[in-house]
Amino acid sequence: MAKSKKTTFECSACGNLQAKWMGKCPECGAWDSFVELKQSEVEFLKSVAKQSAVTPKAQKITEIKVEQIKRISTDDSELDLVLGGGIVEGSLVLIGGSPGIGKSTLLLKISSNLAKNGLKTLYVSGEESLSQIKLRANRLDAVAENLYLLAEISLENIKNELTNNYKILVIDSIQTLYSEAISSAPGSVSQVREITFELMRIAKERGICIFIIGHITKEGSIAGPRVLEHMVDVVLYFEGDASKELRILRGFKNRFGSTSEVGIFEMSSSGLIPAKDANSRFFTRGEAASGSAITVIMEGSRPLILEVQALVCESSYPKRSATGYDKNRLDMIIALLDRKMGILLGGYDVFVSVIGGVKISETAADLAVVAAIVSSFKNRPISKESLFLGEVSLNGEIREIPNLESRVKEANLQNFKTIIAPNRISNTKGVKFFVTKEIRQILEWM
């Protein structure tokens, strides 16, 4: 009797291997993530692991020489900022984002910029024909002598083309490529992992800068195995609404720089361009309005002035909703308003939204959220010349925030007249400070 082949299952999120299918991955905790691997795929993965198994020798840290990192400017100030000063030679950069957000548009323009600077660049597309890419390049003014286009999905054919001494490679997108060494379909766990591993090896051995475009899932993460993000050097995500002009490029991993910086782009007729005077795009000026408060957050070294809007209305089935702000933090603030200020919102809907599609990840905007909710509840307009800065604690105190000087400096540049904060700084011409230590003092100011 023939011996049955051993079945192997792999987690599509983290790559964990199991002898049987499991509902929940014991390694990463993902549910319903195991897929069956064919025997040929298992043998191939074992051969790759065997080939890459090299026993390293330990070295004294005092004997190790630090290599100088060489960076190449992309001629795009926002992308250079997020990358930490430019592309690093031999780096592997993954850019993710929802469909239509501008990934292909940005990288085609960047490919043109690099080609115009004398760097031989190869743009590989598995989704569009050469004529479609050329039409977009004409619209973006991205036609350059050193820019080469290739419509191909076979990794082996792309590797053959790379023997022509390219310095920059763009892959659009990683989910469309396949390797003949693996029998599974393009976009599968094994295909994505093997192709990324091979691209990483090429980047390091030949010093080629490689950009990979990755589609994202409905949960907002890169489609494919999570090990993809661990293998690359840089992970960037596009944020924002595809129907709006502004896009934000945020760094989530960078082996050669900080991940705290963001790039702000504007979609125009000539493609994605660095947004001019970006700070004025996230708030509106004009007459005082109820349910609206303005604050300043820090995105890396850049202060951004944002408008927070709130809507409070009576309801038989109260709802709480937050767009661009942490929902758990909103629930805490509503509880504090009940306990410390006597504002009972149990029978009211509370909606909070941040203008411009920005997601606030710091607590310095808490005071602005409080002001916007109180303003909407009491229907008291707040001046558009005022800024609210401060973190709200569980006992109702307003705590000091970092980088207050940078925030106030930006407020000065945008001609704001009043700042409500838990502390003040000296030498601020033209700006009035109202020091607020507890949230109940907001009522006194309003």
**The two structure tokens encoding residue 296:** 């300043």
19 CB neighbour count, 10 Å cutoff: 9
Q: Is 195 annotated as a binding residue?
A: no
Q: Is 315 annotated as a binding residue?
A: no
Whether residue 294 contacts residue 388, with contact meaning beta carbons closer than 8 Å, is answered with: yes
Average pLDDT over residues 165-187: 87
Domains of the chain: 8-37 (no CATH), 71-276 (3.40.50.300), 280-445 (3.30.230.10)
Interatomic CA distance for residues 109 and 140, integer angstroms: 7
The percent of residues in the chain predicted with pLDDT above 90, rounded, is 46
The percent of residues in the chain predicted with pLDDT above 70, rounded, is 89
Q: Is 98 annotated as a binding residue?
A: yes
Position 334 pLDDT exceeds 60: yes
Higher pLDDT pick, 29 / 388: 388
Average pLDDT over residues 138-154: 94
Under the banding of pLDDT at 50, 70 and 90, the label for residue 1 is very low
Spell out where 370-430 has E strands.
386-388, 391-392, 398-399, 418-421
Q: Is 154 annotated as a binding residue?
A: no
pLDDT for 45 equals 56
Q: Is 356 annotated as a binding residue?
A: no
Distances (CA, A) of 395 to 96, 132, 333: 40, 59, 10
Higher pLDDT pick, 275 / 55: 275
pLDDT in tens, 405-430: 889 888 888 889 899 999 888 767 77
Average pLDDT over residues 355-371: 90
pLDDT for 180 equals 85
Under the banding of pLDDT at 50, 70 and 90, the label for residue 42 is low
Interatomic CA distance for residues 281 and 267, integer angstroms: 13
Q: Is 274 annotated as a binding residue?
A: no
Q: Is 104 annotated as a binding residue?
A: yes
Looking at the whole model, is its pTM more than 0.75? yes
Which residue(s) pair with 350 in the sheet? 312, 320
List the single range of 124-128, 185-189, 224-228, 247-251 with lowest mean pLDDT: 224-228
Whether residue 430 contacts residue 417, with contact meaning beta carbons closer than 8 Å, is answered with: yes
Higher pLDDT pick, 227 / 384: 384
Q: Is 396 annotated as a binding residue?
A: no
Q: End-to-end alpha-carbon separation of the chain, Å?
A: 86
